[in-house]
Amino acid sequence: MKGRQILLDHLGNREAAALMVDGKLDDLLIDADVPRPGTIYRAVALRPVKGQGGMFFSTPDGDAFLRQVRGISPGAEKLVQVTGYAEPGKAIPVTDRILFKSRYAIVTPDAPGLNISRRIRNDDRRDALLVIARDTMGDSDMGLILRSSCLEAPDDEIAEDIHAMAGFATQVMADSGTGAETLAEGDGPHALAWRDWTDPAEVVTDAGCFASHGVLDALEALKSAEAPLPGGGTLFIEPTRALVAVDVNTGADTSLAAGLKANLATARELPRQLRLRGLGGQITLDVAPMPKKERRTFENALRGVLRADGIDTVLAGWTPLGHYELQRKRARIPTIDLLP
């Protein structure tokens, strides 16, 4: 089926959302039994970790770790926000730079100023959005970022979204309670789908739509380490405790350009596979053999796809053994751990 579809369903008792593009699973969100990214706590400082330049905090969901924090004594209280998922046995990663993110607006309490997404290049539209932002924010001392989804959105919906998020941010930031407490829950899969999958799409909410639209078949394929590449090559994606190992194979192609073709196909496919599998951390690619002069072509292709991926990924570069390394934010729980 051509076009985009957003499917909202459940896997067992877990809320889940799937994005299908031209009949192919492109993204997947599954709820987990751990604190969601975006959750805001009033946390209580425990002890500093001088060697790591951070501090542990107590929250209702367990210990959290805040990096690069100074001047806080044990027992002090601070508002923090969950930034991702913790590795097994480690503290919840949090930040003290709180963001209130919605479909059209991001309210930034600690960063004043009105900003428009750089992806919106039309000067007339930027000027119109700035007027909406000024009128809606009024004399608030909080900052605002209008997202790229504002480009073609109705002005009244944008203003309503800004008003709602600014009001919610004001309420949370005015907290005067004491002790460790959850002040706001992070968005679940259905809310995240509405918030982040903003391109035009058909939305399907029927119970069982994962089965009727091929999502369950795609999930079954994710249980295998092997993923096919266009042109006959294959990827083998295998998470270990230390890192995610990715092996690139050319398949039956024995031509001189086989290695480059398989590696370019990997650059286009790997971000999707990592999203669907919920994998992050250190990622090491054992690429197919290719001349060193072609490395720049591979890097540029991978960088271009990652730019549109939405999950922070650092291209660390080549190792002496010819492997290519990435460092990717742990934005999701491994999918294999959440499947029924």
pLDDT in tens, 221-258: 999 999 999 888 999 999 998 999 999 999 888 888 89
Residue 307 is given by DSSP the state H
- Give the whole-angstrom CA distance, residue 41 versus residue 102: 19
Residue 186 falls inside a structural domain: no
Report whether 40 contacts 98 (CB < 8 A).
yes
Residue 198 falls inside a structural domain: yes
Q: Are 85 and 164 within one domain?
A: no
pLDDT in tens, 107-164: 999 999 999 999 999 999 999 999 999 999 999 999 999 999 999 999 999 999 999 9
- Fill in the amino acid letter for 332: R
Q: Are 257 and 330 within one domain?
A: yes
Q: Are 208 and 229 within one domain?
A: no
Q: Are 241 and 309 within one domain?
A: yes
- Give the whole-angstrom CA distance, residue 99 versus residue 81: 8
Instruction: Please state at what angle helix 258-277 crosses helix 215-222, rounded to 10 degrees.
Output: 110
Domain holding 251, by residue range, is 223-337
Give CA 158 to chain center in angstroms.
23
Number of domains in the chain: 4
Give CA 133 to chain center in angstroms.
26
Q: Are 245 and 329 within one domain?
A: yes
Indicate the pTM of the whole model: 0.91
pLDDT in tens, 6-52: 999 999 999 999 999 999 999 999 999 999 999 999 999 998 887 77
pLDDT in tens, 170-190: 999 999 999 999 999 999 999
Residue 140 falls inside a structural domain: yes
Q: Are 227 and 326 within one domain?
A: yes
Burial class (CB in 10 A: 0-12, 13-18, 19+), 268: middle
Residue 167 is given by DSSP the state H
Q: Are 74 and 137 within one domain?
A: no
Residue 217 falls inside a structural domain: no
Q: Are 91 and 45 within one domain?
A: yes
Residue 201 falls inside a structural domain: yes
pLDDT attached to residue 125:
97
List residues bridging with 236 in a β-sheet. Answer: 226, 247
